[in-house]
Amino acid sequence: MDKTISEKIISEHAGRELKAGDITIVNVDLVMSQDGTGPLAVSHVRRMGFNKIKNPGKSIFFIDHASPSPRKELSNSHIVLREFAAQTGAIISDAGKGVCHQILAESYTCPGDIVLGGDSHTCTSGALGAFATGMGSTDIAVGYALASTWMMVPSTIKVNFERKINKGVFAKDLIIYLIGKITSDGATYKAIEFGGEIGNALSMDERFTISNMAVEAGAKTGIFPSDSITKEYLKSQGREDCFREVSADKGAKYEEAIDIDCSLIEPMVSQPHTVDNALPVSNLEKIMIDQVFIGTCTNGRLSDLKIAADILKGKKVAGGIRLIVIPASKDIYLEALKTGILETFVDSGAIVGSPGCGPCVGIHQGILGDGEVCLSTQNRNFKGRMGNPNSFIYLCSPATAAWSAVRGYIADPREVLL
């Protein structure tokens, strides 16, 4: 039987032939959680009576959501994770190292893997040709303890990005456009496989942005086939040996195929309070902003920071606007430091923070005031997401974010990029 990528990976891990709709127990390659979901997972592992975990070298705890900790309660949760890791031999990725999904990409995920993460954006690793999906603390606890889980093999939607990308339009605009089209539950319980002429030519950083947001359409995962671009990326991380080609069979059955003509896509925003409330920037009225945030597992990578810095070079952030920039990992931070990108940010008036999730989750480092508006490169704009239910979040690409920070309102980056 010809298979989709999901059917292929799950069949391999279950040791039998499976198709969409089948329910199975599978072995998993990587299990991770972060400081918001890890402590509960640790408590579940203990409640189940396990003193050991199955595969400690492939079990990771990330301290990234409250990093460094702004409160004693969270500091104490961090201690729980560090102690459990020390006791079981699990890996701890401590404060300052970076956002879990970025570190998985840099150091852990291999094509063909099954990755379980106690974080909904675990689908980011799908960009490497892995079956990577978010789960809650109980499933993650079982994953740590047994290195297996139960799952239903999802049906797959094939999304083909075609034609050409216009200047000023980036991967973030493509995925916001797609979610606007299929809505926030358009892919619930399903996998999305990305392809098409444009899709296949995207860089790894662009693929990560797109896979990251698959869950915003409800998807279980968002996968790119692995290819020479994947191989080059893994090589750049010193992990070439884990490359293998993962792709769908020619006759694979898709639930649906969606062709996106990228030439029709303009710079996009998601308006409050749902990601699928998508609109081209050019259709917006003049939306004044209080804060701009460039970073996160969606758009905190080096190429994102470079695009933003190129726009900001020699310019100043508009008066009254706070621009917060947070590289997604320590390696990205260091590279941005060496190449002068961080200097450009600071010089323009931006606040540069330490690697981590920053203000995206509403814990610290840029909580919004009542009535305030934030333009962010993050993946979610739900009411209350950035710590205040009386604030408003718009989502966009790093280019739109940077140019808007200069203008003081949500502005079209084509004004400066054309």
Stretch that binds another protein, among 73-81, 263-271, 302-310, 323-331 (CB under 8 A): 73-81
Q: What's the DSSP call for residue 378?
A: S
Tell me if 361 sits within 8 A of 381, measured CB to CB.
Answer: no
Cβ atoms of 258 and 160 within 8 Å: the answer is yes
Our finding on whether 3 is near another protein (CB under 8 A) is no
Tokens encoding 328 = 């997604």
Region label for 13, one of left (φ > 0), alpha (ψ between -120 and 50) or beta (otherwise): alpha
Which range touches another protein (CB under 8 A), out of 128-136, 170-178, 340-348, 401-409?
Answer: 128-136
- Interface mask (CB under 8 A) for another protein, residues 129-148, using x and -? -----xxxxxx-xx--xx-x
With b for 16 or more beta-carbon neighbours within 10 A and e for fewer, the 358-391 pattern comes to: bbbbbbbbbbbeeebbbbbbbbbbeeebbbbeeb
CA distance 161 to 220: 20
For 219, the enclosing helix (H) or strand (E) is: none
For residue 270, report the phi and psi dihedrals to the nearest 5 degrees: -100, 125
Q: Which of 97, 172, 322, 380 binds another protein (CB under 8 A)?
A: 380
**Residue 28 Cβ vs another protein, minimum distance, rounded to whole Å:** 13
Nearer to another protein by Cβ, of 123 and 260: the residue is 123
Contacts (Cβ under 8 Å, ≥6 apart) of 264 = none
Site for another protein in 10-29 (CB under 8 A): 23, 25
Give the bridge partners for 279, in sequence order. 269
Site for another protein contains 385 (CB under 8 A): yes
Residue with Cβ nearer another protein (69 or 344): 69
Site for another protein in 74-103 (CB under 8 A): 74, 76-77, 80
CB 209 within 8 A of CB 172: yes
Site for another protein (CB under 8 A): which residue of 92, 258, 279, 367?
367
Q: Is 236 exposed, middle or buried (0-12, 13-18, 19+ CB in 10 A)?
A: exposed
Beta bridge partners of 291: 322, 374
Is residue 352 near another protein by the rule CB under 8 A? no
The reply on whether position 120 binds another protein by CB under 8 A is yes
Pure H helices in 225-350: 228-236, 296-299, 302-312, 330-338, 341-348
- Between 365 and 404, CB nearer to another protein: 365
- Minimum CB distance to another protein, residue 13 (Å): 14
Gyration radius from the chain CA atoms: 20
Q: Is 300 in the site for another protein (CB under 8 A)?
A: no
Stretch that binds another protein, among 9-17, 173-181, 338-346, 355-363 (CB under 8 A): 355-363
The answer for 9, left when phi > 0, alpha when psi is -120 to 50, beta otherwise, is: alpha
Between 59 and 122, name the residue whose CB sits nearer to another protein.
122
- Strands (E) across 119-240 are located at 131-134, 148-152, 156-162, 191-195, 221-223
Q: Is 199 in the site for another protein (CB under 8 A)?
A: no
Nearer to another protein, 36 or 111 (CB): 36
Does the footprint of another protein cover residue 32 (CB under 8 A)?
no
Which of 8, 44, 207, 414 binds another protein (CB under 8 A)? It is 44
Q: Is the CB of 81 or the CB of 281 nearer to another protein?
A: 81
- Interacting positions 100-119 with another protein (CB under 8 A): 117-119
The least distance separating another protein from the CB of residue 119, rounded to whole angstroms, comes to 6
Q: Which of 217, 30, 173 is nearest to 105 (CA)?
A: 30
- When the beta carbons of 149 and 348 are compared against another protein, the nearer one is 149
Closest distance to another protein from the beta carbon of 118 (Å): 6
Residues of this chain that interact with another protein (CB under 8 A) are 23, 25, 36-37, 39-40, 44, 47-49, 65-66, 71, 73-74, 76-77, 80, 117-120, 122, 134-139, 141-142, 145-146, 148, 150, 152, 184-185, 188-189, 218, 220, 273-274, 361-363, 367, 380, 382-389
